[in-house]
């Protein structure tokens, strides 16, 4: 990530936690965020791709959740089913900061319309502490 971008983030006066550090760990296929409240989030690329917040992906997830509900497999779940149109091996081709509030991933399936707001990223933090809530 561009250090200038992170410096600006730190300088901005927001109450909500903002990323102090963002690390794309290509070898382990993870994306890490260290937040201003010292919380650390570790996302797998699959998780980030599946939880893409764009309208198209949201709709796909809603449909999948509906199907699940009808089949009475269980109650609605936070983790969506795998979208069959997503390739098995998700890779990030590019990560771009968007303003001061989000980042944008370009995935190897050509998808790049999802703006991952920091608030959203924090909300989907997969750590034990956060997923308990
Ligand atoms: Zn999407
Ligand atoms: Zn967490």
Nearest listed ligand to the Cα of residue 39: 2
Alpha carbon distance 11, 20 (integer Å):
10
Mean pLDDT of 101-114: 94
As for how many domains the chain has, the answer is 1
Distance from C-alpha of 94 to C-alpha of 110, rounded to nearest angstrom: 11
Number of the ligand closest to the Cα of 60: 1
Average model confidence (pLDDT) across the chain = 84
- Residues 91, 72: contact at Cβ < 8 Å? no
For the chain, percent of residues with pLDDT exceeding 90? 61
pLDDT at 1 over 80: no
- Is 128 among the domain residues? yes
Domain region containing 105: 3-49+89-132
Task: Tell me if 41 is assigned to some domain.
Answer: yes
Which of 55-64, 72-81, 107-116 has the highest mean predicted lDDT (pLDDT)?
107-116
Per-residue pLDDT tens digits for 23-73: 999 999 999 999 999 999 999 999 999 999 999 999 988 888 777 655 444
Burial of 18 by CB count in 10 Å (0-12 exposed, 13-18 middle, 19+ buried)? buried
Return d(Cα 40, Cα 67) in angstroms, integer.
34
Q: Is residue 66 part of a domain?
A: no
Give the Å distance between the CA of 49 and the centre of ligand 1. Answer: 8
Q: Provide the b/e sequence for 50-66 (b: ≥16 CB within 10 Å).
A: bbbbeeebeebbeebbe
**129 CA distance to ligand 2 middle (Å):** 6
CATH assignment of the domain containing 8? 3.30.2020.30
Residue at 57 is within a domain: no
109 part of a folded domain: yes
| Residue 70 forms part of a structural domain | no
Give the alpha-carbon dihedral of 95, 40, 45, 115, to 10 degrees: -50
Nearest ligand to the CA atom of 51:
1
Q: Is residue 80 part of a domain?
A: no
- Establish if 55 belongs to a structural domain: no
- Give the pLDDT of residue 65: 78
């Amino acid at each position: 990530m561009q250090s200038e971008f992170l410096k600006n983030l730190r300088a901005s006066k927001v109450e909500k936690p903002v990323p102090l550090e963002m690390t794309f760990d290509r070898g382990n296929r993870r994306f890490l965020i260290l937040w201003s409240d010292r919380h650390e989030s570790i996302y797998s690329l699959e998780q980030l791709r599946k939880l893409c917040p764009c309208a198209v992906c949201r709709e796909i997830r809603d449909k999948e959740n509906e199907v699940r509900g009808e089949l009475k497999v269980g109650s609605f779940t936070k983790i969506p089913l795998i979208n069959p149109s997503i390739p098995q091996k998700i890779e990030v081709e590019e990560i771009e900061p968007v303003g001061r509030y989000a980042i944008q991933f370009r995935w190897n399936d050509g998808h790049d319309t999802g703006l991952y707001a920091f608030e959203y990223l924090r909300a989907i933090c997969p750590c034990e502490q956060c997923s308990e809530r």
